[in-house]
Chain A
Amino acid sequence: MKLPLSWLNDYTNIDGVSPKEYADKMTMTGSKVEGVEDLGAELDGVVTGKVLTCEPHPDSDHLSVCTVDAGTGEILQIVCGAPNVKAGIIVPTALNGAKLPGGIKIKKTKMRGVESNGMLCSHEELGISEDTLGYEPEYGILILPDDTPVGKDIKDLYGLNENVVEFEITSNRPDCFSIIGLARESAASFGKPFSIPENKFTENGENIADTLSVEVLDKDKCLRYCARMVKNVKIGPSPAWMRERLQASGVRAINNIVDITNYVMLEYGQPMHAFDLRDLAKQQIIVRRAADGEVIKTLDEQDRKLTSDDLVIADGERAVAVAGVMGGFNSEVKDDTTTVVFESATFDAASVRLTAQRIGLRTESSSRYEKGLDYHNTVPAVERACALVEQLGCGEVCSGMIDVLGNVKDMSPITFRPEKINAFLGTDIPTDDMIKYLTALDIAVDTEKMTVTPPSFRPDLEGEADIAEEIARFYGYEKIPTTLLRGETTRGGKNDRQQATDAISAALTAQGMSEIYTYTFVSPSIFDKLNIPADSNLRKTVKIKNPLGEDTSVMRTTTIASMMEILARNYNYRNPSAKLFENGKVFIPNGGGELPDEPAVVTLGMYGGVDFFDLKGACEALFEVLNVNGVTYEAVTNNPTFHPGRCAAVKAGGKKLGIIGEIHPSVCRKFGIETKCYVGELSFENIFLNIAKEIKFKELPKFPAVTRDIAMLVDKGVLVGSIETVIRKNAGKHLEAVKLFDVYEGEQIPEGKKSVAYSAVFRAADRSLTGEEVQNIFDKILKKLEKELNAILR
């Protein structure tokens, strides 16, 4: 909401307050100032001047040499290039040292040898629009009316000595979408008096009710409908002061009648509409629901298709306005309009909001209605319009007003307990001060019953907390003390799950992996990109009804695509390698109006100088740090997202922890990556379930260990995991550790075989093992390896 500061003084007096002080104070009492614009900031030193003489320039065929009286006490010689310059006219004259928009400075100069002390200006050079002028001037310098006084600052002439304050108005304060509302807040903020002048006008004796009938069919959506009529209308431009205020407020001037409706809307916050009586069939106004599919062409010449939920203003035959949103093209005020009907009505906020949304048309009017307007405001507003008609002399106000009341509600009193409010705010504000703040806002205080009753334009004040806020605003938030929490102490901290997440991040960063944050909504095309089969459950997603685009239209059921996109981005940025992880969520639909499950997922991804075992190693380190024990890795050959020979299911405690592996090259290509990528997707939930809850200390060994190496030849297809299983199963209780230290194929190894070497550590807790004992265990292991895996000892 834009407020030209000079307008305030119609209702209160803030003279002597600088725009900066004003903005600061208003912001601190709750009317947030977004900015202050000085309309004339770029213009300085331009005054009205009379051209006394005008002669052709001796050395030019288009320049003229003029003498100008600009009220400076001396006659100025100014060279002018405009074709319309002549003696006797009054024009804007930029004096030496003047500033013009665009940072132009006027200096004494010589033009083709003739001295020039200033510049005669066009409206464009002054930055004054045709809207401000109210007409289209002829080409050249701006010729002002003959009766314009000489030496007057051009800023005064065009209302440019104005500061326009822009407010952010919150949705609870529709009353502040008006000059009067802001003036009331301003007066309360600065402790100044506030009053609304009475609207006086003469009625011509012809009663509106004899000409027009108004019927309201939906009294829930139309809470009040007031109509007044003006005859013998003379359509023309409105006066400069009105055009300037409209323009400063960001509203275009159209003609006197339309300008009056807009002026009243800005001033009172009450949207108004003017109908041409000639266009109202049967001279009727009927406020009704639209028929389903009914079409109306609005003022902007667009056809709008309505539904039976939309409220329209109709005449005896058809709709003439979409209630609260925009008037109809068929009944607008025209140049030859002679009788006008002013509408000042209150419509249901939700209804206007929905209609505006449905037809995609948000207007100054609808944005006010949808916040909920005061039905008491319709009469003063329409009376203000009539007073302006009389003031502008653009018509005769007919007698009487049609006023149809719908189903309205009035404000109820609120309990007022000053001590409770102080306890709530943590303050010690005297009751008298509270009453003073409230009274300044037109909130009635009953000190006997100890109740307060808000004015009808403050529907946001519903309870004691609302009253507390009004008091706090004007007492000053900055004066409320700062105290720390008291009362019962609470045990703060992170729970086990949160600590596990922290531990995962710590373990993975220690492995050289950096954390990423990705969008949780994805394109449905990711499933094809990941080679996920058409019948996969992963394709059952939570879908967004109104996505920004197809690319962000479904909630992800896997995080692999998100990781691949980030790997691809780093790859495209020529980062030679990347090791990344994400703590994220996937969204598994439950259907039937239920919320989806949102299991947490840990995603790992890497490329560049790494292989499968770097990824697996990161997992192993992760599980070790977290104390997740008994983790196994089983080859997976049929997951189409992954390389069929380099993919493993990760399991522990009978739960699947996730899947890790090299991404299938066809998937990499679809993400635009020409190198091998390794990705793991792990279930946080299942990892968390497998974290050892208790850790028990084991005595440190007192007796020496015996280490033996086992090297063998096995068929190439034998998994080292199965060799290790055989060793562990047959080693008995003294096996302390078994570790793979070499796998070799090639020279000196027969075709189809590989050499595998382990070192095994044996130890007894209570004595030194003898060589014989160890040899016996060792022999047993070797026998089993030979029998079960066809291993040949080397």
Chain B
Amino acid sequence: MKQKLEEIRASAKEALSDALNIDALEQLRIKYLGKKGELTAVLKGMGKLSPDERPVIGALANDIRSKIEGEIESKKAEISAKLEEEKLKLETLDVTMPGKRQATGELHPLTKVLENIKSTFIGMGFQIADGPEVEYDYYNFEALNIPKNHPARDEQDTFYISDNIVLRTQTSGIQVRVMEKTKPPIRIIAPGKVYRSDAVDATHSPVFHQIEGLVVDKGVTMADLKGTLEMFIHALYGESTKVRFRPHHFPFTEPSAEVDISCFSCGGKGCPVCKGEGWIEILGCGMVHPKVLANCGIDPEVYSGFAFGIGLERIAMGKYGINDLRLFFENDLRFLSQF
């Protein structure tokens, strides 16, 4: 009987290895394991065995049954996998066809650059401040040490609403508003629209954007000003950008500086973009003038600070290689969708 069982086992193994499809497997299962199958037939003869043999043969028969079952299952999985693979091979796509997508809109390039700048300063503990675009002469000029009839007013052709209300020519007035309301330490940037009475051309617009920055605290130094702006410039233009601080004059800072960076077009060798100078001016800055601090009720003997003003359009033009300022305000979708 044992021998019979071994024969069934061997024959099943061979038959299974030859089976080609699921149907054939099923046939084999019935043939060996079914109610009328070979194994069942053998087991039916168990009653004739001696009590000693019965458990031994029983165990062997069960073992052989489970082995055959296992082999049928694994063969089945093997055949299914093969069948699936064959089917998948027929389901080809042209993967170079366009994807299905939702149309997306774009942020304006000025917003993109501004957000970039904001995140750098937020990382240094700055907050974002805001101020009115229609502004008192006092905040736009007087409190910034630019009294009436100061020649510096000529440098900023001003739109007037009335004798003492203007369209702000600079975001610097926000400095004063913040200092009037806030006790140091102050670290803010204040972006916004500014207005100058300039006719529109490729490099001038009567409306453009500035970002004002202000830091006031005990012991703020000009070295801090340099370090902070250098960090900002490296974040915006890359670590290899060279930065040059050059003395300049602004009525509301002292000492004042203009900041040049090595030309992003030629790297400083001199080219048409930098007019051969190798440097491009990107912002004005300085230590807050003691008179401005005093105007805002902050004691310049105790506190010091620095301020800076960045022209957003100029930065964006440099960053993206845009050569005409008017494009920012034309809002042609063919322009907007490039950023």
Give A residues with C-beta under 8 Å from B.
27-30, 32, 170-173, 349-350, 353-354, 370-371, 423-427, 463-466, 468-469, 472-473, 477-478, 480-495, 498, 505, 508-521, 542-548, 552, 555, 566, 569-570, 573, 575, 578-581, 585, 587, 593, 595-596, 598
Q: Give A427 to B287 CA distance when docked, in angstroms.
A: 14
19 residue pairs bridging A and B, Cβ less than 8 Å apart: A349-B149, A427-B222, A465-B255, A469-B254, A480-B223, A481-B223, A483-B221, A487-B218, A488-B185, A490-B127, A491-B127, A505-B107, A510-B105, A516-B331, A520-B193, A520-B207, A548-B206, A573-B332, A598-B134
Measured CB to CB, the nearest residue on chain B to A547 is B159
Q: Give A277 to B105 CA distance when docked, in angstroms.
A: 76
Q: Does B152 contact A (CB under 8 A)?
A: yes
A370 cross-chain contacts in B, Cβ below 8 A:
151
Q: Does B121 contact A (CB under 8 A)?
A: yes
Instruction: Say yes or no: A424 contacts B222, CB within 8 Å.
Output: yes
Q: Give A351 to B328 CA distance when docked, in angstroms.
A: 40
Known: A473-B255, A546-B160. A27 touches B246 (CB 8 A): yes
Q: Does B60 contact A (CB under 8 A)?
A: no
Closest 8 CB pairs of A and B: A426-B223, A426-B221, A30-B247, A469-B255, A170-B249, A512-B103, A350-B149, A482-B227
Which single member of A354, A482, A547, A570 contacts B332 (CB below 8 Å)? Answer: A570
Q: Does B199 contact A (CB under 8 A)?
A: yes
Question: Which of B12-20, B40-48, B91-99, B162-170 makes up part of the contact surface?
Answer: B162-170
B124 cross-chain contacts in A, Cβ below 8 A:
484-485, 492
Q: Does B197 contact A (CB under 8 A)?
A: yes
A494 cross-chain contacts in B, Cβ below 8 A:
118, 122, 127-128
Q: Does B51 contact A (CB under 8 A)?
A: no
A598 cross-chain contacts in B, Cβ below 8 A:
132-134
A509 cross-chain contacts in B, Cβ below 8 A:
104-107
Q: Give A492 to B215 CA distance when docked, in angstroms.
A: 12
| Other contacts beyond A424-B221, A484-B231: 12, CB < 8 A | A171-B151, A353-B149, A426-B221, A426-B223, A477-B245, A484-B228, A487-B185, A509-B107, A514-B336, A515-B106, A570-B332, A593-B164
A349 cross-chain contacts in B, Cβ below 8 A:
149, 151
Instruction: Say yes or no: A424 contacts B151, CB within 8 Å.
Output: no
Instruction: Say yes or no: B104 contacts A512, CB within 8 Å.
Output: yes
Q: Does B161 contact A (CB under 8 A)?
A: yes
A581 cross-chain contacts in B, Cβ below 8 A:
105
Q: Give A595 to B247 CA distance when docked, in angstroms.
A: 36
B123 cross-chain contacts in A, Cβ below 8 A:
492
Instruction: Say yes or no: A495 contacts B127, CB within 8 Å.
Output: yes
Instruction: Say yes or no: B150 contacts A171, CB within 8 Å.
Output: yes
Q: Does B74 contact A (CB under 8 A)?
A: no
A543 cross-chain contacts in B, Cβ below 8 A:
161
Q: Which of B210-243 contact A (CB under 8 A)?
A: 215, 217-224, 226-228, 230-231
A466 cross-chain contacts in B, Cβ below 8 A:
254
Instruction: Say yes or no: B223 contacts A427, CB within 8 Å.
Output: yes
B155 cross-chain contacts in A, Cβ below 8 A:
171
B136 cross-chain contacts in A, Cβ below 8 A:
595
B230 cross-chain contacts in A, Cβ below 8 A:
482
Q: Give A463 to B206 CA distance when docked, in angstroms.
A: 35
Q: Does B59 contact A (CB under 8 A)?
A: no
Q: Which of B74-132 contact A (CB under 8 A)?
A: 102-108, 110-111, 118, 121-128, 132
Known: A27-B246, A32-B246, A598-B133. A575 touches B222 (CB 8 A): no
Which single member of A486, A490, A545 contacts B219 (CB below 8 Å)? Answer: A486
B244 cross-chain contacts in A, Cβ below 8 A:
478
Q: Give A516 to B334 CA distance when docked, in angstroms.
A: 12
Measured CB to CB, the nearest residue on chain A to B281 is A32
B186 cross-chain contacts in A, Cβ below 8 A:
490
Measured CB to CB, the nearest residue on chain A to B200 is A548
Instruction: Say yes or no: B223 contacts A515, CB within 8 Å.
Output: no
Known: A353-B149, A515-B111. A484 touches B227 (CB 8 A): yes
| Secondary structure call for the A interface | loop
Measured CB to CB, the nearest residue on chain B to A488 is B185
B105 cross-chain contacts in A, Cβ below 8 A:
508-515, 579-581
Instruction: Say yes or no: A468 contacts B161, CB within 8 Å.
Output: no
Instruction: Say yes or no: A425 contacts B223, CB within 8 Å.
Output: yes
Instruction: Say yes or no: A566 contacts B331, CB within 8 Å.
Output: yes
Nearest CB of A to B211, in Å: 14
Known: A349-B151, A426-B223, A466-B254. A575 touches B333 (CB 8 A): yes
Q: Does B175 contact A (CB under 8 A)?
A: no
Instruction: Say yes or no: B125 contacts A483, CB within 8 Å.
Output: no
Q: Does B171 contact A (CB under 8 A)?
A: no
Instruction: Say yes or no: A505 contacts B337, CB within 8 Å.
Output: no
Q: Give A510 to B102 CA distance when docked, in angstroms.
A: 8
B221 cross-chain contacts in A, Cβ below 8 A:
423-426, 483
Q: Give A497 to B199 CA distance when docked, in angstroms.
A: 34
Instruction: Say yes or no: B199 contacts A548, CB within 8 Å.
Output: yes
B336 cross-chain contacts in A, Cβ below 8 A:
514-516
Instruction: Say yes or no: B222 contacts A472, CB within 8 Å.
Output: yes
Q: Does B257 contact A (CB under 8 A)?
A: yes
Instruction: Say yes or no: A545 contacts B249, CB within 8 Å.
Output: no
Measured CB to CB, the nearest residue on chain B to A420 is B301
Q: Give A533 to B80 CA distance when docked, in angstroms.
A: 77
Q: Does B314 contact A (CB under 8 A)?
A: no
Most chain A beta-carbon neighbours within 10 Å: one of B150, B154, B331: B331
Q: Give A50 to B220 CA distance when docked, in angstroms.
A: 71
Instruction: Say yes or no: A483 contacts B161, CB within 8 Å.
Output: no
Known: A426-B224, A487-B185. A569 touches B332 (CB 8 A): yes
Instruction: Say yes or no: A519 contacts B329, CB within 8 Å.
Output: yes
Q: Does B309 contact A (CB under 8 A)?
A: no
B150 cross-chain contacts in A, Cβ below 8 A:
171
Nearest CB of B to A324, in Å: 13
Measured CB to CB, the nearest residue on chain A to B215 is A485
Measured CB to CB, the nearest residue on chain B to A369 is B151
Known: A171-B249, A485-B187, A548-B197. A514 touches B333 (CB 8 A): yes
Nearest CB of B to A167, in Å: 13
Instruction: Say yes or no: B331 contacts A493, CB within 8 Å.
Output: no
Measured CB to CB, the nearest residue on chain A to B139 is A595
Q: Which of B248-270 contact A (CB under 8 A)?
A: 248-249, 251, 254-258
A555 cross-chain contacts in B, Cβ below 8 A:
134
Instruction: Say yes or no: B125 contacts A490, CB within 8 Å.
Output: yes
Nearest CB of B to A432, in Å: 21
Instruction: Say yes or no: B127 contacts A481, CB within 8 Å.
Output: no
Instruction: Say yes or no: B149 contacts A354, CB within 8 Å.
Output: yes
A566 cross-chain contacts in B, Cβ below 8 A:
331
Known: A480-B222, A543-B161. A28 touches B149 (CB 8 A): no
Instruction: Say yes or no: A490 contacts B126, CB within 8 Å.
Output: yes
A585 cross-chain contacts in B, Cβ below 8 A:
133
Measured CB to CB, the nearest residue on chain B to A490 is B125
Q: Give A566 to B328 CA distance when docked, in angstroms.
A: 12
Measured CB to CB, the nearest residue on chain B to A427 is B223
Most chain A beta-carbon neighbours within 10 Å: one of B110, B124, B167, B222: B222
B185 cross-chain contacts in A, Cβ below 8 A:
487-488, 490
A595 cross-chain contacts in B, Cβ below 8 A:
132, 134-136, 165
Nearest CB of B to A356, in Å: 10
Most chain B beta-carbon neighbours within 10 Å: one of A30, A468, A482, A579: A482
Q: Give A505 to B123 CA distance when docked, in angstroms.
A: 22
Instruction: Say yes or no: A545 contacts B162, CB within 8 Å.
Output: yes
B151 cross-chain contacts in A, Cβ below 8 A:
171, 349, 353, 370-371
B193 cross-chain contacts in A, Cβ below 8 A:
520
Measured CB to CB, the nearest residue on chain A to B286 is A469
Instruction: Say yes or no: B254 contacts A465, CB within 8 Å.
Output: yes
Which single member of B134, B154, B187, B256 contacts A596 (CB below 8 Å)? Answer: B134
Nearest CB of A to B83, in Å: 37
Instruction: Say yes or no: A484 contacts B125, CB within 8 Å.
Output: no
B257 cross-chain contacts in A, Cβ below 8 A:
477
Measured CB to CB, the nearest residue on chain B to A425 is B222
Instruction: Say yes or no: A492 contacts B127, CB within 8 Å.
Output: yes
A27 cross-chain contacts in B, Cβ below 8 A:
246
Known: A353-B151, A480-B222, A490-B185. A472 touches B247 (CB 8 A): yes
